[in-house]
């Protein structure tokens, strides 16, 4: 059993000052595979101090050199592909094919921001029109400073890449807290930083939970920028902590995203996209399209196809190639989803009977589809984070859009329509940061990702993801 009781600070492995230990589990085998330190505030102090010492030199290094280090991160991740995929399967429970896609996405993200780092050099001092005769101005972008990065457990290596790559490209130094639930894949980032000879203090990894590390990190006065992905209650606490000192903050929070299917849609495609929208990663994703709004003429046909498609899923060991549905990440998450299924029963919701057989061992939950769910139901309005879909038949596009936007969240949406012009028109009316039309939920690093309303503040990926770690300075003088 592996013991993750050391933090990576200033390019050294330092024993945690905290004496609490947390179990790290395999959600398929229900076994403890490691223990991780819960951390301590003094560990955070040491990591922040190292990052602050490293900041001037890393900032002065220039985008070209920083880009070379990011390319080295990508190379190293690719070289450790088999090991990291297995770690994600064992620690997170996701099927091997999904773990492989995650790794590809992470590598692409480091590659993208390697290029953005180089381009940042070229953009420094670009002229800006002042609109004033006799004055010229130039724009410069400087790193925000020391960044505190906190990631969730559902997409290890991916969520960290979305934060770490742009932060390093911008010239920030970082203190990174991965989820204590899935620390094993993220541990590799510290090992890679050491192997590629990243300058000491540029990247610091502190293991721990919210009490030992999370809260002290968000409240630390030496942190200039906070970036958090996770639940809304914790996000609100992070935002409150950032208010002290008026620090820069980015939040990627929850979702309760809709998927709209029109009467002219290709039902084979619709079935594929609906299924993936609430079953990929066993439904444990903020962007899960877990509210189905389908036009009445095709509602029954689509739901019947969906029932059959669920029956073709293969739950099982994530390391087996045939597996298409893994377990939930731990017993607590399984119990959370089970509580919503019990609520559905209490509310008298009509649910399809799952047509698949689950393994006897592991934190598995069979996908469930509930029909004609009231918009007042907690299942319709709250993020469940499991393979649960709520469906409603709608009369027309107007009703579909109105119900889709009637949510406290605005993270994502999908539109499936036979007419691509109609699909685009529907997408333009949806209150969501990302809308996919007739395609899966793809998130190339060149695009932005993030939400509206209760789904967060700011954007990750793309140029916006880099700008999140930059401060802009204008220098104006006579022509």
Cα dihedral sign for 218, 224, 230, 233? Answer: positive
What percentage of the chain has pLDDT greater than the value 90? Answer: 97
Give the residue carrying structure tokens 């939950």.
365
353 vs 110, more confident: 110
Q: What is the pLDDT of residue 276?
A: 98
pLDDT digits (tens, 9 = 90+) for 109-154: 999 999 999 999 999 999 999 889 999 999 999 999 999 999 999 9
Which of 171, 177, 152, 145 lies closest to 70, judged by CA?
171
Return the CATH number of 258-444, one of 3.40.309.10, 1.10.287.130, 3.30.950.10, 3.40.50.1860. Answer: 3.40.309.10
CATH class of 2-253+455-478: alpha beta
Which of 76, 70, 150, 143 lies closest to 113, judged by CA?
70
Query: Is pLDDT at 22 greater than 90 in this prediction?
Result: yes
Tokens of 75: 């190379």
156 torsion bin: left (phi>0), alpha (psi -120 to 50), beta (else): beta
Query: Is pLDDT at 337 greater than 80 in this prediction?
Result: yes
pLDDT tier for residue 420 given thresholds of 50, 70 and 90: very high
pLDDT digits (tens, 9 = 90+) for 48-75: 999 999 999 999 999 999 999 999 999 9
Q: Which helix (H) or strand (E) holds 426?
A: helix 420-427
| CA–CA dist 410, 455 (Å, integer) | 6
**Average pLDDT of the segment spanning 355-363:** 94
Which of 2, 30, 325, 343 lies closest to 188, judged by CA?
2
- Catalytic site positions: 252
What is the model's pTM?
0.96
Q: What is the pLDDT of residue 446?
A: 96
Query: What 3-state DSSP class applies to 50?
Result: helix
DSSP states along 147-202 = EEEE--SSSTTHHHHHHHHHHHHHT-EEEEE--SSSHHHHHHHHHHHHHTTPPTTS
pLDDT tier for residue 476 given thresholds of 50, 70 and 90: very high
pLDDT digits (tens, 9 = 90+) for 224-246: 999 999 999 999 999 999 999 99
**Average pLDDT of the segment spanning 472-479:** 94
Q: What is the pLDDT of residue 355?
A: 80
Mention every residue, 6+ apart, whose C-beta is less than 8 A from residue 170.
117, 120, 141, 143, 144, 466, 469, 470
Cα dihedral sign for 368, 369, 372, 377? Answer: positive
Q: What is the pLDDT of residue 352?
A: 79
pLDDT tier for residue 200 given thresholds of 50, 70 and 90: very high
What percentage of the chain has pLDDT greater than the value 70? Answer: 100
pLDDT digits (tens, 9 = 90+) for 270-320: 999 999 999 999 999 999 999 999 999 999 999 999 999 999 999 999 999
| CA–CA dist 92, 201 (Å, integer) | 29
pLDDT digits (tens, 9 = 90+) for 292-301: 999 999 999 9
**Average pLDDT of the segment spanning 95-122:** 97
pLDDT tier for residue 354 given thresholds of 50, 70 and 90: confident
**Average pLDDT of the segment spanning 404-411:** 98
Query: What 3-state DSSP class applies to 139?
Result: strand
Domain locations in the chain as residue ranges: 2-253+455-478, 258-444
């Amino acid at each position: 059993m592996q013991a993750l009781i050391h933090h990576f600070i200033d390019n050294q492995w330092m024993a945690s000052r905290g004496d609490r230990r947390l179990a790290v589990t395999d959600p398929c085998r229900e076994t403890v595979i490691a223990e991780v330190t819960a951390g301590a505030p003094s560990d955070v102090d040491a990591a922040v101090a190292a990052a602050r010492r490293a900041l001037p030199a890393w900032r002065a290094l220039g985008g070209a050199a920083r880009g070379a280090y990011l390319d080295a991160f990508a190379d190293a991740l690719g070289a450790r592909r088999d090991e990291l995929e297995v770690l994600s399967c064992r620690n997170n429970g996701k099927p091997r094919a999904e773990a492989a896609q995650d790794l590809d996405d992470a590598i692409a993200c480091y590659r993208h921001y390697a290029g953005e780092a180089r381009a940042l050099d070229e953009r420094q001092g670009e002229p800006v029109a002042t609109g004033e005769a006799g004055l010229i101005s130039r724009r410069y972008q400087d790193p925000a400073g020391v960044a505190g990065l906190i990631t969730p457990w559902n997409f290890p290596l991916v969520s960290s890449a979305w934060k770490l790559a742009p932060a390093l490209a911008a010239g920030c130094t970082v203190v990174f807290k991965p989820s204590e639930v899935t620390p094993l894949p993220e541990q590799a980032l510290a090992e890679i930083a050491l192997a590629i000879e990243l300058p000491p203090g540029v990247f610091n990894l502190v293991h721990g939970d919210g009490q030992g590390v999370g809260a002290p990190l968000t409240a630390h006065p030496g942190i200039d920028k906070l970036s958090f992905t996770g639940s809304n209650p914790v996000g609100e606490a992070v935002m409150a902590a950032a208010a002290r000192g008026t620090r820069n903050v980015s939040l990627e929070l929850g979702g309760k995203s809709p998927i709209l299917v029109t009467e002219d849609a290709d039902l084979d495609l619709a079935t594929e996209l609906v299924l993936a929208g609430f079953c990929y990663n066993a439904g444990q994703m903020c962007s899960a399209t877990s509210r189905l709004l389908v036009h009445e003429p095709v509602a029954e046909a689509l739901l019947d196809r969906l029932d059959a498609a669920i029956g073709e899923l293969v739950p099982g060991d994530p390391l087996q190639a045939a597996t298409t549905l893994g377990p939930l990440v731990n017993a607590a998450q399984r119990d959370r989803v089970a509580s919503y299924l019990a609520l559905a029963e209490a509310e008298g919701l009509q649910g399809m009977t799952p047509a698949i057989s689950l393994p006897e061992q592991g934190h598995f939950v069979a996908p469930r589809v509930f029909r004609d769910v009231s918009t007042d139901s907690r299942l319709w309005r709250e993020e469940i984070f499991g393979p649960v879909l709520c469906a409603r038949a709608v009369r027309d596009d107007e009703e579909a859009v109105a119900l889709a936007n009637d949510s406290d969240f605005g993270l994502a949406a999908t539109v499936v329509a036979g007419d691509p012009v109609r699909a685009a028109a529907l997408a333009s009316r949806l209150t969501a940061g990302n809308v996919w039309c007739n395609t899966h939920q793809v998130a190339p690093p060149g695009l932005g990702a993030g939400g509206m309303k209760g789904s967060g503040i700011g954007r990750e990926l793309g140029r916006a993801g880099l700008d999140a770690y930059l401060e802009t300075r204008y220098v104006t003088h006579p022509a």
